[in-house]
């Protein structure tokens, strides 16, 4: 449990990171009634499940993450369903990960099969916000293209990241469903849907949990 002040810092940080996803996708975050929701808290680290798990889903950010906003954006990307770029089933074509690191952190660096994930025919993106950054003093990943040796990863959302989310949630059409991701700083999350067009938005509350 955190103090009110710490809680407000955490909430402000989350909202800024969430706004980065909302800006160019049809994803939106709302507070409301109980259901499936994201519970944002500070467990002293950055962590999130990948995709929707149902019920209360914990997303941990550090309370001072406003100065590390890219990390918060990254974790929200996980909650929306994005794996690490370096977990793609074709990753060995593009990077080599130090074997000792893979052995030490198997969950962090495991390859996700194409049966478990969908890349929507996107190219491997060294500049994705979901790609691990490189420590130049202690490199653990080695790109096939040496031009990316010092520039893997990013603190901002790439075009590929946006494409994956928009494609997965059906945001690319003239009128699409805006998938609501519930969050909880206080116990009132809800499940909503917004119809989105180029000209206007319509918002309504649902009686059933219809979010993806």
Would you please indicate which residues are annotated as catalytic (active-site) residues? 75
Annotated binding residue 132 = no
Annotated binding residue 78 = yes
Annotated binding residue 137 = no
Query: What distances in angstroms separate CA 101 from CA 74, 96, 110, 141, 205, one per listed residue?
Result: 21, 11, 11, 9, 46
Based on C-alpha coordinates, what's the Rg of the chain? Answer: 18
The whole-angstrom separation of Cα 137 and Cα 131 is 18
121 sits in the region (left: phi over 0; alpha: psi -120 to 50; else beta) called: left
Could you tell me which of 121, 161, 131, 153 has the C-alpha nearest to residue 23?
Answer: 161
Q: Using CA of residue 112, residue 116, residue 81, residue 169, what is the dihedral sign?
A: positive
The whole-angstrom separation of Cα 192 and Cα 207 is 9
| Pairing mode of beta strands 201-205, 192-196 | antiparallel
Which parts are annotated binding residues for Zn(2+)? 74, 78, 84
Which parts are annotated binding residues? 74, 78, 84
């Amino acid at each position: 449990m955190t103090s009110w002040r710490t809680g407000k810092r955490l909430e402000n940080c989350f909202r800024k990171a969430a706004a980065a996803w909302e800006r160019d996708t049809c994803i939106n975050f709302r507070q409301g009634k109980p259901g499936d929701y994201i519970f944002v808290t500070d467990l002293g680290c950055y962590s999130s499940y990948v995709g929707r798990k149902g019920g209360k889903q914990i997303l941990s950010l550090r309370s001072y993450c406003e100065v590390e906003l890219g990390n918060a954006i990254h974790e929200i990307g996980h909650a929306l369903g994005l794996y690490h770029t370096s977990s793609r089933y074709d990753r060995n074509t593009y990077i080599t990960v130090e074997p000792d690191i893979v052995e030490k952190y198997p969950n962090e660096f495991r390859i996700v099969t194409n049966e478990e994930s969908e890349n929507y025919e996107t190219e491997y993106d060294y500049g994705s916000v979901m790609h691990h950054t490189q420590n130049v003093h202690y490199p653990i990943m080695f790109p096939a293209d040496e031009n990316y040796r010092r520039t893997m990863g990013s603190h901002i959302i790439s075009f590929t990241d946006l494409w994956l989310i928009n494609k997965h949630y059906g945001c690319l059409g003239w009128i699409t469903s805006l998938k609501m991701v519930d969050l909880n700083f206080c116990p009132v999350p809800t499940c909503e849907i917004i119809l989105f067009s180029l000209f206007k938005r319509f918002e309504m509350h649902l009686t059933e949990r219809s979010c993806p």
